[in-house]
Amino acid sequence: MNFNNLVPANSSRYSGITMRFTRHHFFTNRWTLLGMMLFLTVGLFASSTLGWLWYAEKRATAARQSSLDLLWMEQIITNKLETQQVMLQNWALDLDPASKPSRQEFLRRIDELIKENHAILAVEIIDEQQQRLIGLPDYDQRPAHLPPLNDPLVSEAIQQSRRLNSSAYSQVIEQFAPLWVLALPNSNEQHRLHRIVVTYNLDKLLTQEVPWWFVQRYDLSLVDEHDKQLSPSEGGIVAHNKEINRLDFGPSGSGLTFKTSVRTVQNFDNLLIGLAIAVLLFGILIIWLLRLLRRWIKERKAAQQALRERDELLQHTARLSSLAEFASGMAHELNQPLAAIANYAAAAECLLETDKIQSPKVRQAIEKMGEESRRAGKIMHSMRNFIQKSATPHEPYSISQLVHESIELIEAQARRQHVRIQVDLRTEDIKIDCDAVMLKQVLFNLMRNALDAMDAKQTDHAQQLEIRTEQTEDYLVFSVTDQGQGVQDIDKLFQAFYTTKSEGMGLGLAICRTVIENHGGKIWAENNPSGGASFHFRLPLKTQQMPQTQSAQPVPSIQRS
Ligand code: ADP
């Protein structure tokens, strides 16, 4: 017997293993992994270099733009101041200090100018002694936020204006705010020595004149020659980044400087550093993952190898146990026909020994011996198929024939025990597709166990063994019911080698269960309330049922005794 047949070759399974092996080979190959790491390193290096070049270009463009914007902004403020100077000088030209209407007109004009330009704190005309002749704001006592007209820095600007006969800015006067005093010559020939004095709040000048988009894009501050921040005067020192653009503001020697730096550059720097760190971490992560993957695949391969080895071992054990089961099963099943053959042989011998040869009886005994030996052969064949798990030849077989042929095998024992066999076929006599030899063995085993159980009970009154078939929507159910002692341990019934009989082998029910399950069915047992046990098995109808070739008449219940 070739037990290798127990494990059928499966080509698709092998092809799956080959594919898996190929994939593993790809990942576990040293050169492939090295190649992947090299590719990754080169990729990271190239992308970092490109990123850096792009970033450097972006910074250079931003720096160029920043210089241009700062220049533009400084021009805007300077132009504005120059325009105001020209306007004031023109108004002063029209002014006749002796004429009230002229004075009123002048005051009206500078009032409007001050209202429109919050950075202008005061506009005044002073005489040679630096005394105020006319101006705004109007006051009895000079307000504290305005520098006195005889302040040294103010005087210095006025003297310079007189000396050069041109406009002159003072140094920054820090009085509540950074102030700037502008002294303008008066073009009016009659009042040549008068000066127009304008006081600016530098902080407000920047707030008013610097456009919003500039503030959004750049950090801006105005510092003196000692790099002390004059504006903005509130909100602390402006946090410029390293890339600062500087531009002198005001007349030469004023020491005022605009400082700007691009706001986004700071964030952009952080973003780039963040990205670089992320790329680095990502690279490290990938390398770590590759190493992990390689180790994991190695471990898996080793585990699979171990599993495969344990699986060969298991099959070997299974084959040995199958062999043992086969041998035991064979001995169990062949026991009955061989015993019958021996009985018939003994009977024939006895008949031959008598003087008067009763040839019909001898022939009958020899025929029976032939029948039993053929049955033994069939059992052996079916058992072999069953153990080898090869496709058992299933053929359509009539239910009633199956039942009655099984009963024929047990009839003699039943008669000896005075047990009446009752057959109750509640189904149509359909044909089922089955291994009839094995199904008959199942019925035979159940009936023999039933007779054994009733024999063990030893009662005086006549006992009955019932064989019933029923049909549900999906199943065909066979039941064998006895009036014996009942089942002791229902859970162990179908386990191989479980027996309560002194000479039992405990294989009959285990074989029955395997045969029924091989037919897609199920077997179970129960103790009856009125005593005795019932064994049932069901076979699925959908796959089993075959149309009866002859007229499918319901078979009436029959009784045998
Ligand atoms: P064996 O007949 O060799 O013991 P089986 O597998 O056929 O092996 O039966 C196993 C055990 O199940 C029996 O020993 C018996 O204890 C129990 N058994 C089987 N059929 C019946 C029954 N109809 N009534 C009571 N017990 C039963």
| Ordered DSSP codes for 186-233 | ---GGGTT-EEEEEEEHHHHHHHHS-HHHHHHEEEEEE-TT--EEES-
Burial class of residue 545, CB neighbours in 10 A (0-12, 13-18, 19+): middle
Residue 274 falls inside a structural domain: no
pLDDT confidence bin for 321, thresholds 50/70/90:
low
Ligand 1 center to 522 CA (angstroms)? 17
The CATH number for 435's domain is 3.30.565.10
pLDDT at 2 over 50: no
**What integer is the mean pLDDT of 20-32?**
54
pLDDT at 40: 76
Q: Please tell me the residue having the least CA distance from ligand 1 atom 13.
A: 499
Q: Among 442, 451, 482, 509, name the best residue to mutate to test ligand 1's pocket (greatest count of ligand atoms within 8 A of Cβ).
A: 509
Minimum mean pLDDT among 69-78, 306-315, 406-415: which range?
306-315
Ligand 1 neighbourhood includes 499 CB (under 6 angstroms): yes
Residue 190 falls inside a structural domain: no
Asked if the bond preceding 97 is cis, omega within 30° of 0, the reply is no
Ligand 1 neighbourhood includes 482 CB (under 6 angstroms): yes
Instruction: Provide the token pair at 508.
Output: 């009959």
Q: Please tell me the residue having the least CA distance from ligand 1 atom 20.
A: 449
Ligand 1 neighbourhood includes 492 CB (under 6 angstroms): no
For residues 503 and 497, the answer to whether their CB atoms sit within 8 Å is no
Which residue has better confidence, 386 or 479? 479
Ligand 1 neighbourhood includes 268 CB (under 6 angstroms): no
Residue 459 falls inside a structural domain: yes
Residue 216 falls inside a structural domain: no
Which residue has better confidence, 56 or 16? 56
The residue length of the chain stands at 561
Q: How far apart are CA 401 and CA 412, in angstroms?
A: 18
Residue 332 falls inside a structural domain: no
pLDDT at 492 over 50: yes
Ligand 1 center to 424 CA (angstroms)? 23
Residue 352 falls inside a structural domain: no
Q: Please tell me the residue having the least CA distance from ligand 1 atom 16.
A: 500
What is the per-residue DSSP string for 274-328? HHHHHHHHHHHHHHHHHHHHHHHHHHHHHHHHHHHHHHHHHHHHHHHHHHHHHHH
Ligand 1 neighbourhood includes 283 CB (under 6 angstroms): no
Asked if the bond preceding 148 is cis, omega within 30° of 0, the reply is no
- pLDDT tens-digit series, residues 340-375: 888 888 888 887 777 666 678 788 888 888 888 888
Q: How far apart are CA 65 and CA 257, in angstroms?
A: 18
pLDDT confidence bin for 320, thresholds 50/70/90:
low
pLDDT confidence bin for 548, thresholds 50/70/90:
very low
Ligand 1 neighbourhood includes 483 CB (under 6 angstroms): no
Q: How far apart are CA 144 and CA 118, in angstroms?
A: 17
- pLDDT tens-digit series, residues 408-463: 988 888 999 999 999 999 887 788 999 888 899 899 999 999 999 999 887 888 89
Mean per-residue pLDDT over the chain, rounded: 81
pLDDT at 123 over 60: yes
pLDDT at 252: 77
Distance from the first to the final alpha carbon of the chain: 43
- The atom of ligand 1 lying closest to the CA of 332 is 3
Q: How far apart are CA 328 and CA 475, in angstroms?
A: 31
Residue 31 falls inside a structural domain: no
Q: Residue 111, Cα to own-chain centre: how many angstroms? A: 73
Ligand 1 center to 497 CA (angstroms)? 10
- The atom of ligand 1 lying closest to the CA of 480 is 23
pLDDT confidence bin for 322, thresholds 50/70/90:
low
pLDDT confidence bin for 168, thresholds 50/70/90:
very high
Q: What is the domain range of residue 518? A: 394-550
Ligand 1 neighbourhood includes 476 CB (under 6 angstroms): no
pLDDT at 9: 33
pLDDT confidence bin for 557, thresholds 50/70/90:
very low
pLDDT at 417: 92
Minimum mean pLDDT among 17-21, 231-235, 362-366: which range?
17-21
pTM over cut 0.75? no
High-pLDDT (> 90) share of the chain, %: 35
Which residue has better confidence, 122 or 333? 122
- pLDDT tens-digit series, residues 234-282: 878 888 877 888 999 888 778 899 999 887 555 566 777 777 788 788 7
Ligand 1 center to 513 CA (angstroms)? 13
**What integer is the mean pLDDT of 223-230?**
89
Ligand 1 neighbourhood includes 450 CB (under 6 angstroms): yes
Residue 541 falls inside a structural domain: yes
- The atom of ligand 1 lying closest to the CA of 450 is 23
> What is the number of domains present in the chain?
1
pLDDT at 391: 55
